[in-house]
Amino acid sequence: MTFNGPPKPVHEKAPGAVVETPEYWEGNKPFKSPRKYYEAQFELAKMMAERTGMSLVDAVDLYAPVIKNHIHTFNEESDWEITGLEEGVTDENMLEHAWERSLVRHIERNSEPTEYHPEGSRFGCHYYDYDEASKTINIHFFNAEFEEEWVDGADVSKGPLDRVKIERRLHELADMFRDIKARYPDAEKVRCQTTLNNLESYLRLFPESYRDSVGGIDYDPKLWGQGTTVWGQFVGGNNKKKGEYGFKEELVASFLEKAKHVPIDKLPEALPNPVRTGEAPIEDFYDLYRVA
């Protein structure tokens, strides 16, 4: 799951499946993450810097991906390796700098409606990457519909995992796995590492073998800095401004309070939905989505 721009294209080994845009896909422009999302990540980074003695920049890099992505310079040709801080960034202005940069980049990168299947590996709200060494397809999810429905000043739209949208999500998965079979016929298994593995609304999209495989909490500290892998659970819902994601303020407040006291190596236990991993044979997915 991600809100930091479209996924990187997979390396194409063979032509993918032919894909048509479904009628339900309207191609809305992407939402902007709200400022409070940035503030929450910065708050955790400051807390962890105080608790561990690390510098604020190091804490941001580990715990606050939306701040990290907007205060550094990167080498785009070397897997987006950090090359340094942007000019003028200090501990005191770091949050404001990141927020202002995000506003500019959102306009630059999201001026056009979102395609159903842009070049690469995304199909609607789902996308994937392939690990050739382990013959594993890693699947991901994010709200790429960007739907809003305003009634009397309130958003009443349904989220992408709502029951009324199950057929949409299954259609996307079928398209995606046809593409996977065409490009990577040697793939053997499917894996997903996400907070969404706590939710029946997500698990019901996958074969029983996958649902049964979901394990315990993943305590890997690197997960905090991977886009929305951890933080995405706080974004969404109808408490929002037009053109923005919603933000779950009460859940964040509860998490940050618990984070003050839980042992640092057990920090994921403070989350309402910690990251968990599921894995199953790829044939079970082909069978479920009727991919011949």
For residue 114, which of 75, 147, 80 has the smallest C-alpha distance?
147
Strand order in the sheet with 189-194: 122-123, 126-131, 136-141, 189-194, 276-281
Please report which residue ranges of the chain form alpha helices under DSSP H.
35-52, 56-63, 65-71, 94-109, 166-183, 200-203, 208-213, 249-259, 282-288
Q: Residue 78 has what pLDDT?
A: 72
pTM above 0.85, yes or no: yes
The residue extents of the domains of the chain are 30-112+246-270, 117-218+275-292
How many beta carbons lie within 10 A of that of residue 149, not counting itself? 10
More confident residue, 7 or 44: 44
Unique residue bearing structure tokens 């997960």: 223
Range 136-144 average pLDDT? 97
> Residue 76: pLDDT band by 50, 70, 90 thresholds?
confident
Q: Residue 15 has what pLDDT?
A: 76
Range 134-139 average pLDDT? 98
Q: Using one digit for the tens of pLDDT, what is the confidence trace for 142-175?
A: 999 999 999 999 999 999 999 999 999 999 999 9
Residue 117 pLDDT exceeds 60: yes
| Average pLDDT along the chain | 94
Unique residue bearing structure tokens 């509860």: 254
Q: What percent of the chain has pLDDT over 90?
A: 89
Contacts of 208 (CB under 8 A, 6+ apart): 284
More confident residue, 4 or 142: 142
Q: What percent of the chain has pLDDT over 70?
A: 95
Give the integer Cα–Cα distance in Å for 2 and 156. Answer: 23
Residues 163, 213, 170, 156, CA torsion sign: positive
> Residue 42: pLDDT band by 50, 70, 90 thresholds?
very high
Q: Residue 11 has what pLDDT?
A: 45
For residue 146, which of 33, 7, 19, 20 has the smallest C-alpha distance?
33
Residue 18 pLDDT exceeds 90: no
**Long-range contacts of 102-107, Cβ-Cβ distance < 8 Å, separation of 24 or more:** 102/32, 102/33, 102/38, 102/66, 102/70, 103/32, 105/70, 106/30, 106/32
Residue 128's beta-bridge partner residues? 139
Residue 2 pLDDT exceeds 90: no
Q: Residue 113 has what pLDDT?
A: 96
Q: Residue 13 has what pLDDT?
A: 54
User: Please, what is the angle between helix 56-63 and helix 94-109, to 10°?
Assistant: 40
